[in-house]
Structures are given as C-alpha cells and as structure tokens.
Structure 1
Amino acid sequence: MPTGVALRDPRQQLFDAAGRVLVRDGASELTSRAVTTEAGVAKGVLHRYFADFDAFLTELVLDRIAQVEVQAAALRDVAGTGTVAGNLTSALITGFDPVGVAVVVLVIARDELRTRLRAAGTARFPLVGEVTAMVAGYLTAERDLGRIAADADVDVLAPTVIGAAHLQFTEHEDDPAKSEAVRKVVTAVLAGAVR
C-alpha cells in the first residue's frame, strides 16, 4: 500500500481481514502477515494500532464479544414476541456465524490469547461464555413473562442449548439446512420448559 493513503477505520479493516483468513484458512494460518496481506495494508499498520499480534487477537475477540452484548440486549427486547425457539434460533445463527465459530476455535488454540482475555474480564471460556450469558438472560426474561416454566433452570438450559447448537454449526457450516437443524435442537432442549 502506498504511503500517505488514508485508511478508513483501519482496526475494523484488520478485524474483517482476520475473520476472512480464519474462515478460509483456519486458526493455525492466522498470522500478522496473513492479516495485513488480506487487508491489503503494510505489515506496520497492524503494529501501529496494536502492541503485538496477541494484543490484536485480544481486541478481535473483544470486538466479537461487544457484538454479542449488543445482540443480547436485542434478544431480551424480543422476549414475549414470536416463539422462544424461533428467537433463540435467530440469535444463535447470528452469534455463531462462520467467523464466530472460527473465533471460538482461535480462542481454544491460543493459550496466550485466553490468558489476555481472562485478564480483560471475559467469561471463563471467552465468547462462548458471553453467548451463554445472552441465552440465559433471554430465557430469564421469558421465564419472567411466563413463557418458560417458573422452575426452569436457565443456568442449565443455556449452556445445553449452546453446546448442542454449536455442534450444528460445526457439522453443517454453509449448509442452508443449518437453520432448521438449529431450530430442532433448540426446540428439543427447551421442550420441557416452554409453556
């Protein structure tokens, strides 16, 4: 990239490039060079905005977590409308898009990244923990509205939904049947709790 050319939101440009590399090539191929090449910028651009590559990866995951927090508020806002399974299915498909699934793999693969994320105050299992909290918050709102049984243990239901649904995302990847597969899983997990 020529010097003197202004970048529009370089951090986001780098995050988007990292997402594309993760989805296409996997966590093992995600390097600073791969990210800057994919973004079409000089390698120094990444180090201008981030202290090192692990700091970049930490911010990448924190950015995804911030997106989940926005989605969690939107999901709580739809409590009482539509169906519980339908609302959760939509939220999970958005939360576990291909980049989200790839970021989970990245977090699992990199010890230093997990250490930095935990120091930043994330869930014990970064990103998955925040998505689980989103589901628990939504189920609690539905329980308060009487659409989930009063004795439903949302702290057990939420990770069960997440674990079962996550398997669908890893097995179906770009399959258009993924939505229906996730809906079936969500419906089955919540069968005894939905009123």
Structure 2
Amino acid sequence: MPTGVALRDVREQLFGAAERVLLRDGPGGLTSRAVTDEAGCAKGVLHRHFSDFDDFLTELVRDRITRLGHDATELRESAGSGTVDANLTDAVSKVFGPVGVAIVSLIIFRDELRTRLRRTRPIGVPLLSEATVMIADYLVAERDLGRLTPEADIDTLAPTLIGAGHLLFADRTSAPPESATVRKMVTTVLSTVTT
C-alpha cells in the first residue's frame, strides 16, 4: 500500500522539505528520514531520485547556486540605477537570507558533501564563492559606469562584502540584522571608492 502523498515535482518538494528541516533543526537534524517525513513521502522516494543522501544534498546546494545565478543577473542589470550601496545591501541580504546561511552551515558541517562539491568547485566555499563573483561582476559594471572610482579594487571589495555580510548574518539564534546595519557595512567597505 502506498504511503505519503503524491509528489508532483519530487526534486523541488524534497528540496523545500530539506530547507525547512535545515532551518528548524540545523545541519545536525538534516537526515533523509527528516526530509521525507517533512515532505510527507516514503523514504524510498528520495533514494529513487538520488544515489544517496549526500548526492541529494549536493544537488540541493547546486540548486541554490543556480538560484543565485538568477539573482546575479538581476543585480548586474541594476547597475546604473538606484544607488550602489542600496543595490548591494539588497544583494547581500538576499545571499544571506535564512536558507543561504543554513546552506553554508550545512556545507561546513558535512565532510562528504564538501568532498563532492570540491569535484566541481575546488576553491572556496560553494555558494559564498559564487556570491563573491556575483558581487564582483556588479562592482565592475558600476565601475565601468563611473559610479565607482577607476582604482576600485574589485578583487578585494567583493570578498570583503561577502565575508562581512556572512559575519553579520551567521548567528542562527537571533533575528537577522536590520537593513540599516547591512547598509552601514556596505557603505563603510565602499567608502573610498564611491564617486
């Protein structure tokens, strides 16, 4: 007799369930059983679509990186509009939303997941590395438009913004920082390069 509920898009429903478990219980509580229970399906459903749980988690991280690619396009297209600090405040806040912070914690927590991700992403922390590229691409576009000084060191500014952003958002037990706090960090980092 079948158990659970019919899943229309199994992959997306399992990813959504994993994110909810991760937010609620942290990386230590994220198990295949917890995911399938949250999704309301039999445990075998996950293993029918993924070779093992670490394969599932690897695909979850890759899915988040793909989503970040859409945010990167939007951010790059915002160059020249609004203000640089407002655009970056929004971008950093998006990167480090609750799920983004939880995914970074998961990557750090699970050795096998890191090993698998290293096969295609040998440098840096996946998701954070892509976020750094996203910020760098945007900063280059703004520099090209003259809204940053020609001397702006993009290779230093982008990882500084991501690193400082991660430190602001990394505390899972309290509310995320207010937009004004994030904006202050952004304006401080960019203080010598804005025109």
Q: Please, which runs of 5 or more residues in structure 2 have no aligned partner?
A: none
- TM-score w.r.t. length of structure 1: 0.94
Number of the residue aligned with 1:153: 153
The residue correspondences of 1:78-157 to structure 2 (distance < 5 A) are 78-121=78-121, 123-157=123-157
- State the shift of 1:124 in Å: 2.6
The answer as to whether partners of 2:95 and 2:131 remain within 8 angstroms in 1 is yes
Q: Please, which runs of 5 or more residues in structure 1 have no aligned partner?
A: none
Q: Deviations over 1:63-86 (max 9, x none)?
A: 000011111111000000001110
Q: Deviations over 1:25-46 (max 9, x none)?
A: 1101110001111111110010
- State the shift of 1:170 in Å: 2.0
Number of the residue aligned with 2:21: 21
The answer as to whether partners of 2:168 and 2:177 remain within 8 angstroms in 1 is no
* Identical-pair percentage: 61
CA distance in 1, matches of 2:169, 2:151: 30
Query: Match of 1:184, as an amino acid?
Result: K
Structure 2 CA distance for partners of 1:15 and 1:27, relative to 1, 3 Å:
same
Q: How many residues align?
A: 195
Q: Deviations over 1:85-116 (max 9, x none)?
A: 10011111112110110000000111211111
- TM-score w.r.t. length of structure 2: 0.94
CA distance in 1, matches of 2:87, 2:173: 20
CA distance in 2, matches of 1:188, 1:129: 22
CA distance in 1, matches of 2:25, 2:168: 20
- State the shift of 1:121 in Å: 3.7
- State the shift of 1:169 in Å: 1.1
Across the aligned residues of Structure 1 and Structure 2, the Cα RMSD in angstroms comes to 1.9
Number of the residue aligned with 1:66: 66
CA distance in 2, matches of 1:75, 1:173: 29
The answer as to whether partners of 2:76 and 2:138 remain within 8 angstroms in 1 is yes
Query: Match of 1:163, as an amino acid?
Result: G
- State the shift of 1:171 in Å: 3.9
